[in-house]
Structure 1
Amino acid sequence: MPIITVFYIKLLINLALSIGIIWTISKPGQFARWQRESDRLVFWGSFLIFRIVPWIAIFLVLYEEPRGDIPFFFYKAQAAKSGGFVYRDFWSYHAPLYAYIISIPVWIWHNARAIVLFMVIMETLILWLTYQTYKLRSDRALQLATVYYMLPAAFMYILVDGQEEVWFWGAALLMWRFTLRKTTGYEVGLGLIYAATLLTIKVTFIFLLPALLVVVRKPVKMLLVMAAIGLPAVAFLYWQIGDLFLMPIRHTEQLMTPNLFSVTRPLIESFFTIDEKKSTLINWVGLLFTVFVPVYIAWKARHRHVNEVLPGLFIACFVCMMIFQASAMGAYVIAYLMAVLFEIIDIRKTIHIAVLLALNWLTVVQPFVWVYIGQPAYTSFGKLGNPSFLLEYILQILNVLCFLWILRETYRKVVIVTNPEAA
């Protein structure tokens, strides 16, 4: 099927999902009652309707080939299944264990479609655990879980493209739940979960660490636990493959969109010429802000218990990554979309619903348009004379504005709610 046809179909699906979201939001009483009486039926029924049935229709009935990163994931899974050593025998931009984890479904069904289904199942397990956590706090938790299933970004990037970034929230959720159960002496558990995550998913999860160390009571203890696991793992990798294990870090040098750099580049290039092949400095500057802003938020909220602020700090870290990192791309929104919906979005407020829908539409539309028109780099304002470039550039700006709105609301939730003077 031609890619432009796929895009038009995605737009129609987005419209249908958006209508479903608006209907769901309009029925708070109904969902509150279902949450009390039949939450399992509604949750797993939604899973069947919005994940399993579409997966069957797309990959078994229409027999579409998986797109996005799935072909690369399948390559890694095949190599891992065959006994290959990560980074040495096959390329990988993920943590060392990731390829071996995604090879599990390939052992059952040697097909790239199995990895997509695996991603869907992992997403649903994370959503179920999120729902179980929030239903103790809100009678809207089931409603939010149902809304999540219909979010266009989650539908497209996980069900269709098989993205794994939602695993980040899964790891943060495990840490949060641990601190809810164990309100003191939690540093060992946090260190174990954090170290396991860094070995399992992506090195970018490290962005959360500085802010987290500000709010935990015994940061050195947590770091020592992480080191006890991480240093032997790094030593083993170096012994086996030298510095090839740095492959995931080198991947971050590619310039992507949308982010603050990509939308301000025409202005920046008026003063400095950017060499895309030597963009390390740009990413280091972005990294500085990606770390500093969440650390500042954590410092302002340091009087609160870690279990009160951990979800907000997680959101702040990864929305800052998308704002400030020049290598960040739209698909990364999946990392914190679920957390934003449950933690930040108030579906009783029109502006919250509008931003949520706008973010989802933009996340689906902007990357396609950017690639379709040739992945332009706006090195001057003169390039915006092209109508297609101007349209895509506006989409980028709107996307970044949505990120900034989320960051502002997260700051309010973490800092100002309990400390109005911080405003």
Structure 2
Amino acid sequence: MSIVFAKLGISLFALVLVGVLLFSKKRLTPWLETKDTNGFLLVSWVMLRLIPFIIIYLIADFEPTSDVNGFWDEGSKASMGQIVYRDFWSPYSPLYAYFLGLWLKFWYSPKMIVLTMAAMDGVALWASWHFFRSFQSKGDFLFKSLLYLLLPGSLVLCIIGAQEDVWMWLFVILAYLLRERTVRVEWYAVVLAIGLLMTKAIFVLILVPLFILEKQKIRFLIPMVIVGILSLAILYPLVGWEFTQPLDEAQTLRAPNIPSILNPWFYNEIGVGQKFWNWIGLAASVGLACLAALRLRNSDFRIMLSRVWVVLYATMMIVQQSAYSNYIFLFLIPLVFYIIDWKSYTQVILLLIFNVLCVVHPSLWWRLGMPCYMTPSDASASSQLLVDYVMQVSIVGLTGYFIWLAYPKKKEAA
């Protein structure tokens, strides 16, 4: 349980710093208006990503654990020229392991995986400045960037957990920024296709509402089909149907999600683990995202994407039985920079609680043996199991609250 208490301690310390920042906002924001954006983001990244990395992995010589071991297995074998899906198993898209493998050419160590994640997080934050700059002053964005870098949902999951989920947000906004610069829907589609090949299968979900709103549907679709055909033409002769390995992730039972918290109250009669739950989760998350996108069809793309992204992936986090709370890292940037009203004490306090719960729960759940509660008495069989179940219910409830915040109301859509 040491890692659980370590994550809790780091999270609480980070929240103290967030509190100091929020208390100093009125004085700090005007000062940030005078700073160079690129320089300040770089210094902030060094202070809140690189230095923690150096302290934890170089000075304290802490060895990466958890998901990093899986990433290391993939990246190290890819760096040696082995074939993904054939020579090693991967739950990720085909280019993911090879991208990690390129970084390992500079430093052949699992610690390089963590540094890679930190670097990509910094790139995603920098790209977000160009994405949000039309809606926020420089001082306001830089202030929120400090909050983002300090929040446990990004700090701990990036430096301790080495999660890659923020990459998906990076690729979708890079696609938009390229389209904005070139006015070419084809390049927009190509970058989205590359994003799908570089990250996870769930990246494809955002393509559905984007396709629905796209006016140049044929020009949007053709480049993706071409990239898809070329990918299959390369993969199938090498690995056969093994390229479907990422789809196996949908069969992995995790928590917290709606099925996991409802199951004990129905005495294990709701079919947890069955495939129909995956289809229900898929329909609920994509369907709600499409409805949100249609409501915002006349809004600026950046407004639409920020809200739809949170609605889609936050919903997926609690309806898909293979999802777990690490997915907060997937939608934290648009949540922090656009959805949350930082003047609302309620929203801020709930966001801070949400961050701590999402960071601590996966480690606790894993070390308790990944419990699946069959009856109400199972959840109260011990104090640790009760804490786990209460955390699950809290995470699901808070996720629902943030989905409600992000979902466009009629007045906002108008």
Contact 1:259/1:326 (<8 A) preserved = yes
2:335 equivalent in structure 1? 340
C-alpha separation in 2, matches of 1:44 and 1:375: 39
Deviations 1:199-226 (CA, angstroms, capped at 9, x unpaired) = 1111110111111112111223312221
Q: CA deviation at 1:362?
A: 0.5
Is 1:11 matched with 2:5?
no
- For normalisation by structure 1, the TM-score amounts to 0.92
Computed over aligned residues only, the root mean square deviation of the Cα atoms, in angstroms, reads 1.8
Greater Cα shift, 203-212 or 299-308: 299-308
Greater Cα shift, 25-34 or 165-174: 25-34
Gaps of 5+ in 2: none
Residue type of the alignment partner of 1:125: V
Give the alignment partner of residue 285 of structure 1, picking from 274, 277, 280.
Answer: 280
C-alpha separation in 2, matches of 1:306 and 1:135: 13
- For normalisation by structure 2, the TM-score amounts to 0.94
C-alpha separation in 1, matches of 2:204 and 2:393: 27
Q: CA deviation at 1:299?
A: 2.1
Contact 1:24/1:147 (<8 A) preserved = yes
Identity %: 26
Is 1:222 matched with 2:217?
no
C-alpha separation in 2, matches of 1:202 and 1:259: 20
Is 1:403 matched with 2:392?
no
1:412 equivalent in structure 2? 408
C-alpha separation in 2, matches of 1:402 and 1:189: 37
C-alpha separation in 2, matches of 1:78 and 1:328: 26
Map 1:205-354 → 2, pairs under 5 A: 205-269=203-267, 271-274=269-272, 276=273, 279-354=274-349
1:173 equivalent in structure 2? 173
1:153 equivalent in structure 2? 153
Residue type of the alignment partner of 1:401: G
C-alpha separation in 1, matches of 2:411 and 2:264: 35
Map 1:113-128 → 2, pairs under 5 A: 113-128=111-126
Assess, with a 3 A threshold, how the Cα gap between structure 1 residues 306 and 128 changes in structure 2: closer, same or farther.
Answer: closer
Assess, with a 3 A threshold, how the Cα gap between structure 1 residues 84 and 357 changes in structure 2: closer, same or farther.
Answer: same
Map 1:17-96 → 2, pairs under 5 A: 17-40=14-37, 41-96=39-94
C-alpha separation in 2, matches of 1:338 and 1:375: 29
Gaps of 5+ in 1: none
C-alpha separation in 2, matches of 1:83 and 1:178: 31
Contact 2:166/2:331 (<8 A) preserved = yes
Contact 2:295/2:413 (<8 A) preserved = no
C-alpha separation in 1, matches of 2:146 and 2:59: 25
Deviations 1:355-405 (CA, angstroms, capped at 9, x unpaired) = 210111101122122122221111211212323222211111110111111
Contact 1:80/1:100 (<8 A) preserved = yes
Greater Cα shift, 294-303 or 83-92: 294-303
Residue type of the alignment partner of 1:142: L
Residue type of the alignment partner of 2:125: L
Is 1:385 matched with 2:393?
no
Residue type of the alignment partner of 1:282: W
Q: CA deviation at 1:243?
A: 0.2
2:202 equivalent in structure 1? 204
Contact 2:66/2:161 (<8 A) preserved = yes
C-alpha separation in 1, matches of 2:86 and 2:96: 15
Residue type of the alignment partner of 2:158: I
Assess, with a 3 A threshold, how the Cα gap between structure 1 residues 370 and 11 changes in structure 2: closer, same or farther.
Answer: same
Greater Cα shift, 125-134 or 155-164: 125-134
Deviations 1:69-109 (CA, angstroms, capped at 9, x unpaired) = 11111111111111101110111111111111001221111
**How many residues were matched structurally?**
410
2:362 equivalent in structure 1? 367
